[in-house]
């Protein structure tokens, strides 16, 4: 069917807007829906009482409704109500279109609105600025032209897309389970090599090393950032010398164990990679250099991201939450870290490297999988077909 041009009909002709206003009882209990952007479906908000809803206008949702969040429809806040949405409500910001089942398949229309063509129509029908200033107009929505191949063909297309999505979901769940098993295995292995091992202060095995640089007004200084929760380093845009002003900058070298002192307590710890060479950090980024004759940076990084290590960083970061918790230089230097034997360290690092390679394969497969359904949608709803 993708080689043929499908007829186009206004959405309002096959899926008109239907409103089911609900009278709110003060003693009643109600549960509202929400719609995630980017075609990620419906979610359920916490139950509220009629008193909490007050004079808010709400409407009943029914299974099979084609749903649009008028504020974020332009970025794919489109979904299909299922049996789980029976009895739920939505505010005036949620439009419910009831599909004529003799002419159109609701899932087919939902898929269309997640394609670049469908999103472009929703964007054009949502005048205004970005974010909450862009609102989908009711009249504009009803006029959007939607492709309408024969109903049997619509159902076949939906069945094929849903089957692929189901397989991808099953694969993602398997990968998630494997990732959890990998993490547990590494934690157990690390616990074995560090059990009973001697301890040493950071100052003795991985002292702080500062490499201040002289900032030139016409220079460019690419910065390095560290994500929280052990998610590694990332590259910030370059900072010009003029923008840097009196800001102190320090050179970061590959192999450095880097701490973001503002968020170290939540795992903003990483090892600088070869591709991070030449990057700089402000005074908020501490670089420690491990004495390789005693302990590797990877062993230290793994420990600092363990429950015990994070607790130690938390104790060394006094203050309140967020930016009020700052890792102290002296406190970091006094933290005592486990020092397993070099043979045990080498064994663990080899194990960790194999796990990292497996995770890289998982990530590549996930990227390929994430591109599969959009590619199928593009092929199905290509301009030649629509």
In a domain, 232, yes or no: yes
Number of domains observed in the structure of the chain: 2
In a domain, 177, yes or no: no
The answer on 125 and 12 residing in a single domain is yes
Position 121 scores a pLDDT of: 96
In a domain, 377, yes or no: no
The answer on 135 and 205 residing in a single domain is no
The answer on 329 and 217 residing in a single domain is yes
Beta bridge partners of 199: 338
- For residue 92, give both structure tokens: 């005036």
Position 372 scores a pLDDT of: 85
In a domain, 193, yes or no: no
The answer on 313 and 215 residing in a single domain is yes
The answer on 142 and 213 residing in a single domain is no
**Residues making up the chain, counted from first to last:** 386
Q: Is the pTM of this model over 0.75?
A: no
In a domain, 166, yes or no: no
In a domain, 88, yes or no: yes
Distance between CA atoms of 234 and 224, rounded to whole angstroms? 6
The answer on 141 and 55 residing in a single domain is yes
Domain hosting 126: range is: 8-149
The answer on 239 and 313 residing in a single domain is yes
Query: At 18, which CATH number?
Result: 3.90.220.20
- For residue 99, give both structure tokens: 């599909």
At 29, phi and psi to the nearest 5? -115, 135
The answer on 203 and 270 residing in a single domain is yes
Choose among 26, 4, 1, 123: nearest CA to 384. 4
Q: Which long-range contacts (CB under 8 A, 24 or more apart) does 367-373 make?
A: 369/168, 369/171, 369/172, 372/164, 372/168, 373/161, 373/164, 373/165, 373/168
Contacts of 254 (CB under 8 A, 6+ apart): 272, 273, 274, 276, 277
In a domain, 114, yes or no: yes
The answer on 206 and 335 residing in a single domain is yes
Tens place of pLDDT per residue across the chain (386 aa): 444 589 999 999 999 999 999 999 999 999 999 999 999 999 999 999 999 999 999 999 999 999 999 999 999 999 999 999 999 999 999 999 999 999 999 999 999 999 999 999 999 999 877 656 789 999 999 999 999 999 999 999 999 999 998 898 898 899 899 999 999 999 999 999 999 999 999 999 999 999 999 999 999 999 999 999 999 999 999 999 999 888 999 999 999 999 999 999 999 999 999 999 999 999 999 999 999 999 999 999 999 999 999 999 999 999 876 567 899 999 999 999 999 999 999 999 999 999 999 988 888 888 888 788 888 888 888 754 55
The answer on 306 and 226 residing in a single domain is yes
The answer on 216 and 308 residing in a single domain is yes
Position 323 scores a pLDDT of: 62
Which of 339, 356, 374 is the C-terminal boundary of a domain? 339
Position 367 scores a pLDDT of: 84
The answer on 112 and 22 residing in a single domain is yes
In a domain, 161, yes or no: no
Beta bridge partners of 223: 280
């Amino acid at each position: 069917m993708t080689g043929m041009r499908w007829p186009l009909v206004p959405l309002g002709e096959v899926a008109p807007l239907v409103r089911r206003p609900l009278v709110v009882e003060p003693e009643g209990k109600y549960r509202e829906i929400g719609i995630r952007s980017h075609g990620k479906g419906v979610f359920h908000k916490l139950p509220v009482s009629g008193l909490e809803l007050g004079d808010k206008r709400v409407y009943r949702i029914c299974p099979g409704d084609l749903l649009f969040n008028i504020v974020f429809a332009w970025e794919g806040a489109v979904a299909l109500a299922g049996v789980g949405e029976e009895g739920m409500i939505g505010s005036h910001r949620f439009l419910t279109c009831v599909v004529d089942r003799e002419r159109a398949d609701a899932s087919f229309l939902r898929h269309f609105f997640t394609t670049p063509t469908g999103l472009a129509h929703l964007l054009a029908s949502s005048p205004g600025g970005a974010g909450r200033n862009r609102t989908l107009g009711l009249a504009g929505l009803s006029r959007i032209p939607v492709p309408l191949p024969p109903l049997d063909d619509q159902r076949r297309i939906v069945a094929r897309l849903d089957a692929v999505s189901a397989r991808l979901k099953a694969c993602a769940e398997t990968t998630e389970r494997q990732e959890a098993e990998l993490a547990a295995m590494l934690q157990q292995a690390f616990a074995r090599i560090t059990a009973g091992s001697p301890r040493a202060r950071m100052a003795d095995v991985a002292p702080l090393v500062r490499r201040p640089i002289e900032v030139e007004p016409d220079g460019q200084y690419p910065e390095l950032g560290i994500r929280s929760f052990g998610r590694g380093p990332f590259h910030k845009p370059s900072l010009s010398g003029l923008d840097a002003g009196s800001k102190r900058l320090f050179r970061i070298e590959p192999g450095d164990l880097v701490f973001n002192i503002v968020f170290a307590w939540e795992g903003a710890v990483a090892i600088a990679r070869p591709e991070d060479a030449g990057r700089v950090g402000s005074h908020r980024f501490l670089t420690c250099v491990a004495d390789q004759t005693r302990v590797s940076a990877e062993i230290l990084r793994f420990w600092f991201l363990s429950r015990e290590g994070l607790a130690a960083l938390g104790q060394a970061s006094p203050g309140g939450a967020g930016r009020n918790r700052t890792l102290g230089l002296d406190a970091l230097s006094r933290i005592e870290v486990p020092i397993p034997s070099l043979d045990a360290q080498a064994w663990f690092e080899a194990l960790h490297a194999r796990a990292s390679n497996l995770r890289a394969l998982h990530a590549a497969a996930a990227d390929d999988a994430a591109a599969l359904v959009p590619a199928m949608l593009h092929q199905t709803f290509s301009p030649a077909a629509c």
